[in-house]
Structure 1
Amino acid sequence: MAKKIKTSSQFVCSDCGFESVSWYGKCPNCGLWNTMVEFKVSKNQKPLLRPANGGISAGQAVKLSEIKTSVSGRLSTGIGELDRVLGGGFVPGEVVLLAGEPGVGKSTLLLGLQNNLIVYVSGEESPDQLKVRADRLGIKKDNLLILSETQIEKVIDTVIEIKPEMVVIDSIQTVWSDEIEGSPGSIGQVKYCTQKLIELAKKTGISVILVGQINKEGEIAGPMMLNHMVDCVLFLEGERFADLRLLRGLKNRFGPTDETGVFKMTDKGMEEVNNPSEIFMGARLDSPSSARQGAVAACILEGTRPVLVEIQALVTVSFTAIPRRVALGVDYNRLVLLSSVLQKVLNLPLYNQDIFVKIGGGFKVSEPAGDLGICLAILSSFKARPVKPQTCVFGEVGLLGEIRRVNGEEKRIKEAKKLGFINILSSSNTSELSEAVKFLEK
């Protein structure tokens, strides 16, 4: 007679990951309603792998200086832009979550990993389908092993036997365990399988890459706790009908979170863009001496790399009771704030004007250094006077109209001059927003 498997019920908040043995209509942790989901855990489940502890017995407290580390160095992926975002490559035993919208290129990017023995666990495509994709992309490598298996226990057994340097799980929502009730992709299954893979990574030193799906709200599918469990969260974004892809780090325990990798989707896969300014500035780089109304070249720092982008503004008379403020690639509240500063400091009658601001190339400007470029673009469009040719701007604008210094000025100036921009507008030569008018054509 088969042994009956005993189970116990737990309730997990699908938004914040709060756990409870009883159900709540309102999550006690995050306060959201109807987010507690039940899943059953087997009481007979096998113990999970114990993480490597550097020779220290369990429960023993030791000095930090006495702990021996087994991490010898980072593992390069062979993809420079990916290594940049990771902080130099994968740390042995690191668990990375790569998320993005369907069709954005997550699998294509990971199929291009090089320099390491990789086990690619495919739960969404068959080996034949992956072979067709690899042939189309011109990928012919013997370091990539395809495993068509979704049961987590069998996946772990195979990985331990092969002993690769990296494991790709495509995707975490497709793997499952018979120790947990529920279909693949459920909160209980995702949490348990992720925990098993994390402990595998910490025990063996194998780097694990989890591919995550995106829900209709644009967030990573599964429990919010998934983001807290892994070491690094990467997000691949881009317009489906455009070829530009941006890889951003949302969390990184072993590196920076402000770096951005730039790729271009081609028929040969994801190609690195070593000079992002060429993409975001477009034809403007071919003729930096040209000038147009409402268009300004600004230098933005993405992590440690200076990038030139074109900020475009359009100011027109409003025919509605409430003038419109539309921002693409810029925070809406920042646009409203800067519009108010322009109206107050320069006495511009913007109260009856529609203002539209857009960043060229689909780039998103989040740092304050883009303030001055936004203000100058609006000013140029309103006065119908183009910015002087070969001008590049950067600087933070305060509520009183002062231009504040931003970090990395020397690096920004060097990048701008390298691309042919000789007139630099920043806090080093202009202290007030009212003085920026001199950079407009007469």
Structure 2
Amino acid sequence: MAAKASVQYLCSECGWSGAKWMGRCPECGQWGTVEEFHEARPAARSRTTIIAEPGRTSRTRAGTVAAATAITQVGTETVKRIPTGFSEFDRVLGGGIVPGSVVLLAGEPGIGKSTLLLETAGNVARAHNSGTESTVLYISGEESQAQVRLRATRINAVEDNLLLAATTDLSCVLGLIEQYKPTLAIVDSAQTIVSQDVDGISGGSTQVREVASALIDTAKTLDVPVLLVGHVTKDGSIAGPRTLEHLVDVVCQFEGDNETALRMLRAVKNRFGPTDEVGCFDMSGEGIEEVRDPAGLFLSGGEGGAAAPVEGTCVTFTLDGHRSLPIEVQALVTDSVLPAPRRAVNGVDANRIAMLAAVLYRHGRLNLLGNDLYISTIAGGQAKEPGCDLAIVAALASAAKHTAIARTTCAIGEISLTGQVRPVPRLEYRLREAARLGFTVAVVPPMRKRADVAGLRIVEVAHLRDALGALGALGL
């Protein structure tokens, strides 16, 4: 006789579970997040690795013989990862896809998640086209096979061993994976797949949890890596219960602005690699192309020295994970005809501009409080970390004094309320990237340890006034 399905109540915010429904979660205190969850699917097959040693085996309650082994005797064989065909994607994953892992890729609608994974499927299928045993399975719950084929043709991802399936039934998805045992399985998306064993609407917390648990069990049992697409809510968080992020092995966030072609891939969680790496991609009509050296994207004239100096611009270097990116800050200063001067920014922290304008007036002897200030970056770059302060005030001073800063000069530093130029983390790493791009002068805060970077003259300044003078932003 089949076991009776147990009913539990699960909080979609923190993962709390209990036998009684509550309007407010007793764990996190959120209202309306507790939903009914049916545990009907039988437990997954055991994946315990049994290592029998004489005199060290033990018998569990279920009758399974298991053993513990010393950590010094555990093998350290390197797992052979599967390359995605994108070096930027491999960088974020820690070197490639680990067999048996489950990777959750989340992002805004229309950002390019499906395109990235379909092109990845084509790359993997192209690299494993030696026989029918090496296949890639792409399961779509949002589009038909014909729609996926049209997109695959557009991005040149059509391969003989790339299998397409269109279904929203969880049992069919698991059956396809068990039948073909592909080199890579892609499920697009977790919110569209429905399990008939539990109640709840498609995309609900109960369904998403059940679908993710079943896919994880199948991936671990068959040693098949699964790339799972996840939707996001209005506030940008991954839709479904928070336990979904705990269950999977890797959580990646695909970010970007719909108005620009730049896309950034970040690892929020990674059991097999670092979480401070970032991959750069360029979205085009032919698909997604990786940008291995994004330096030229954020500079109006390419790399250092490639264009004539223009007033109101200054280049800084910001950190994004392990990668140092050049950001060009542009400023425009005009006389205001409004009672309250206008402050318009793009790619810069708007709240910090008012503070920097006040510091520039008090300690830089440059009054811009009554002017309209417009500050922007190039190609959607983000200059919101404090290390970009010096470049922002330099661009403002350059625009106000109609004095151009040399294109081969960069400025890195944080500005305090006292006018001091404060140190920033990993400064030497930024300086080496500046030298690689052709910059010859770097205005930086005082360094605790002198850094010698070939081809780069480092000017250390302790105060805002000295920094503006070294940059020539005041025409001194």
Matching residue of 1:104? 111
Change in 2 beyond 3 A, CA 1:142/1:339: farther
Give the counterpart of 2:467 among 418, 436, 439.
Answer: 436
Counterpart CA distance in 2 for 1:6 and 1:418 is 66
Q: Deviations over 1:124-162 (max 9, x none)?
A: 111121111111222232342222233223322321232
Does residue 51 in structure 1 map to residue 53 in structure 2? no
Give the counterpart of 2:212 among 185, 188, 194.
Answer: 194
Give the counterpart of 1:299 among 297, 317, 335.
Answer: 317
Matching residue of 1:148? 166
The equivalences for 1:45-124 within 5 A come to: 45-53=41-49, 55=51, 62-68=69-75, 72-113=79-120, 114=124, 115-116=127-128, 117-124=135-142
Q: Matched residue of 1:168: which SS?
A: strand
Deviating more after overlay: 8-17 vs 180-189:
8-17
Counterpart CA distance in 2 for 1:141 and 1:316 is 57
Q: Matched residue of 2:117: which SS?
A: helix
Q: Partner letter of residue 73 of structure 1?
A: K
Cα distance, 1:173 vs structure 2: 0.6
Does residue 32 in structure 1 map to residue 64 in structure 2? no
Backbone CA RMSD of aligned residues: 2.9
Cα distance, 1:289 vs structure 2: 4.8
Q: Partner letter of residue 46 of structure 2?
A: R
CA contact (8 A) 1:262 1:272 kept: yes
Q: Matched residue of 1:429: which SS?
A: strand
Give the counterpart of 1:12 among 10, 13, 26.
Answer: 10
Q: Deviations over 1:22-66 (max 9, x none)?
A: 233322233222222233333xx3222333546488775554334
Q: Partner letter of residue 99 of structure 1?
A: A
Counterpart CA distance in 2 for 1:402 and 1:62 is 58
Q: Deviations over 1:290-317 (max 9, x none)?
A: 2233211112233333322211233455
Q: Matched residue of 2:237: which SS?
A: coil
Counterpart CA distance in 2 for 1:77 and 1:286 is 32
Deviating more after overlay: 180-189 vs 4-13:
4-13
CA contact (8 A) 2:304 2:408 kept: no
Counterpart CA distance in 2 for 1:402 and 1:49 is 62
Q: Deviations over 1:360-418 (max 9, x none)?
A: 11122354432322232233334443323421222333444333444544443343344
Counterpart CA distance in 2 for 1:180 and 1:362 is 44
Matching residue of 2:451? none
Counterpart CA distance in 2 for 1:21 and 1:321 is 61
Change in 2 beyond 3 A, CA 1:25/1:343: farther
CA contact (8 A) 1:100 1:237 kept: yes
CA contact (8 A) 1:71 1:91 kept: no
Matching residue of 1:183? 201
Counterpart CA distance in 2 for 1:54 and 1:406 is 51
Report sequence identity in percent.
Answer: 39
The equivalences for 1:298-377 within 5 A come to: 298-316=316-334, 325-377=343-395
- Structure 1's unaligned 5+ residue stretches are none
Cα distance, 1:109 vs structure 2: 0.9
CA contact (8 A) 1:49 1:203 kept: yes
CA contact (8 A) 1:264 1:272 kept: yes
Deviating more after overlay: 168-177 vs 234-243:
234-243
The equivalences for 1:182-261 within 5 A come to: 182-261=200-279
Deviating more after overlay: 196-205 vs 268-277:
196-205
Q: Partner letter of residue 83 of structure 1?
A: D
CA contact (8 A) 1:300 1:306 kept: yes
Counterpart CA distance in 1 for 2:287 and 2:166 is 22
Deviating more after overlay: 350-359 vs 217-226:
350-359
Q: Matched residue of 2:236: which SS?
A: coil
Number of positions where the alignment pairs a residue of Structure 1 with one of Structure 2: 438
Counterpart CA distance in 1 for 2:253 and 2:27 is 26
Counterpart CA distance in 2 for 1:418 and 1:324 is 38
Cα distance, 1:327 vs structure 2: 4.0
CA contact (8 A) 2:51 2:68 kept: no
Change in 2 beyond 3 A, CA 1:287/1:124: same
Cα distance, 1:264 vs structure 2: 1.4
The equivalences for 1:257-296 within 5 A come to: 257-283=275-301, 285=303, 288-296=306-314
Q: Matched residue of 1:191: which SS?
A: helix
Q: TM-score scaled by structure 2?
A: 0.82
Counterpart CA distance in 2 for 1:412 and 1:374 is 17
Change in 2 beyond 3 A, CA 1:177/1:357: same
CA contact (8 A) 1:51 1:199 kept: no
CA contact (8 A) 2:363 2:465 kept: yes
Q: Partner letter of residue 153 of structure 1?
A: S
Change in 2 beyond 3 A, CA 1:286/1:339: closer
Change in 2 beyond 3 A, CA 1:323/1:184: same
Q: Matched residue of 1:425: which SS?
A: strand
CA contact (8 A) 1:191 1:226 kept: yes
Q: Partner letter of residue 100 of structure 2?
A: G
The equivalences for 1:398-413 within 5 A come to: 398-413=416-431
Counterpart CA distance in 1 for 2:27 and 2:360 is 42
CA contact (8 A) 2:195 2:207 kept: yes
CA contact (8 A) 1:18 1:27 kept: yes
Cα distance, 1:203 vs structure 2: 2.8
CA contact (8 A) 1:313 1:357 kept: yes
Matching residue of 1:379? 397
- Structure 2's unaligned 5+ residue stretches are 53-57, 61-65, 129-134, 446-457
Counterpart CA distance in 2 for 1:16 and 1:336 is 38
Say which one has the larger Rg. 2
Counterpart CA distance in 1 for 2:258 and 2:315 is 26
Cα distance, 1:79 vs structure 2: 0.8
Q: Deviations over 1:94-122 (max 9, x none)?
A: 22111112221111111122235421111
Q: Matched residue of 2:212: which SS?
A: helix
CA contact (8 A) 2:50 2:67 kept: no
